[in-house]
Amino acid sequence: MPTYRFLNIWLIEAPRPRVWDVLQDATDWPSWWRGVVSVTEVHPGGEDRVGARYAIVWRSRVPYPVRFEFTVDRVDPPRTMEGRATGDLEGRGRWRLMEDDGVTAVIYEWEVSTSKRWMNLVAPIARSVFERNHGVVMGWGGDGLARRLSVRLLASG
């Protein structure tokens, strides 16, 4: 299975607690993040959300949905949330939030492998398409988060 490693950063003109409140509520992502078709809470996890499991469906410019479950393994509000994905994508993701002078850096690290047979077969020629597609979806996320908070997105990449 091909492995993909991504690092995305959004600079949001808002304090970290406000950004965290929106970002940590995954079931609300479809209301502000273009490309997130649905997020269903499969298991609520503990009081700190560790063990929470979400079924997530994404769709972007390419004509296929990506479905996976994400299980929260660690939470340190309002700084870090990390966990693992299983399904069409298998791997780990981590959100980190840092604030300086009212600007929050949202850092997302995502290391996954594709598990769908057809994705693995076309990976040698379609890898750049998959990577660009990820970038587009993350760009939509940064834009949507800033709109949701009614603030400026200062940078996205």
What is the pLDDT averaged over residues 136-147?
A: 98
Q: What is the DSSP code (8-state) at residue 33?
A: S
Domain edges within the chain: 3-145
pLDDT digits (tens, 9 = 90+) for 33-91: 999 999 999 999 998 899 999 999 999 988 889 999 999 999 999 999 999 999 999 99
What is the mean predicted confidence (pLDDT) over 27-36?
Answer: 99
| Pick from 24-33, 55-64, 92-101, 104-113: least confident | 55-64
Environment class of 29 (CB within 10 Å of its CB; exposed 0-12, middle 13-18, buried 19+): buried
Q: Is it the case that residue 98 has pLDDT exceeding 90?
A: yes
Calculate mean pLDDT across residues 123-138.
Answer: 91
Please state, in angstroms and as integers, the Cα–Cα distance from residue 18 to each residue in 51, 104, 122, following that order. 23, 9, 41
Mean pLDDT along residues 92-113 = 98
| CATH architecture group of domain 3-145 | 2-Layer Sandwich (3.30)
- Supply the pLDDT for residue 124: 86
Half-sphere exposure of 80 (CA within 13 A, CB side): 9
What gap in Å lies between CA 5 and CA 101, rounded to an integer?
Answer: 30
